[in-house]
């Protein structure tokens, strides 16, 4: 637990970062990446990465002596979190509100938790709708497969 607290303190000294995901490894590798590498690694366009930084989803990224963005491990963790949440359908404005609350400190934990709970419920509804669609697709595929089998049997019987 002490390692988690030290890791989180590096992210933002005034708040405990609860954005860690179960797959996170609690070590800072010192691996820095340029924006093109981050774009390729996460499948996010350069413009989107710049946009996320501009609206505050990502903290201003350190720049090297040449002024080129130099993404560190903590930046990458934030991008991973954002990509995951966007992939689940969370709107940018909801994420921006969530990140704003993270930056305000631990007194916003309940508000952050509430945002996540609401988004979780919305995701469950979407998942149920998608499951119904998947079931319908499976049914229709089965109908067509059975129709093909029936045709094949008819052809075989005619021979």
CATH number at residue 67: 1.10.1660.10
Cα–Cα distances in Å, from 8 out to 3, 12, 95, 102, 124?
9, 7, 19, 12, 29
Q: What tens digit of pLDDT does each residue of 9-40 get? A: 444 434 445 455 444 443 444 578 999 999 99
Quick check: is 126 in a domain?
A: no
Quick check: is 92 in a domain?
A: yes
Domain count, the chain: 1
Quick check: is 159 in a domain?
A: no
Name the pTM for this structure.
Answer: 0.68
Q: Which residues of the chain have pLDDT under 50?
A: 1-16, 18, 21-29
pLDDT recorded at residue 149? 86
Quick check: is 87 in a domain?
A: yes
pLDDT recorded at residue 27? 40
Q: Choose among 2, 18, 4: nearest CA to 109.
A: 18
């Amino acid at each position: 637990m002490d390692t988690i607290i030290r890791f989180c303190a590096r992210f933002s000294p005034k708040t405990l970062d609860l954005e860690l995901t179960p797959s996170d490894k609690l070590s800072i590798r010192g691996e820095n990446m340029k924006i093109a590498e981050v774009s390729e690694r996460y499948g996010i366009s350069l413009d989107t990465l710049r946009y996320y930084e501009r609206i505050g989803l990502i903290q201003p990224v350190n720049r090297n002596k040449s002024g080129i963005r130099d993404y560190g491990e903590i930046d990458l963790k934030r991008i991973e979190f954002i990509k995951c949440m966007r992939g689940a359908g969370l709107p940018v404005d909801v994420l921006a509100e969530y990140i704003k609350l993270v930056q305000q400190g631990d007194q916003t934990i309940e508000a952050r938790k509430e945002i996540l709970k609401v988004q979780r419920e919305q995701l469950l509804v979407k998942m149920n709708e998608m499951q119904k669609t998947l079931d319908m697709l499976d049914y229709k595929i089965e109908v067509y497969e059975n129709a093909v089998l029936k045709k094949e049997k008819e052809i075989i019987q005619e021979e």
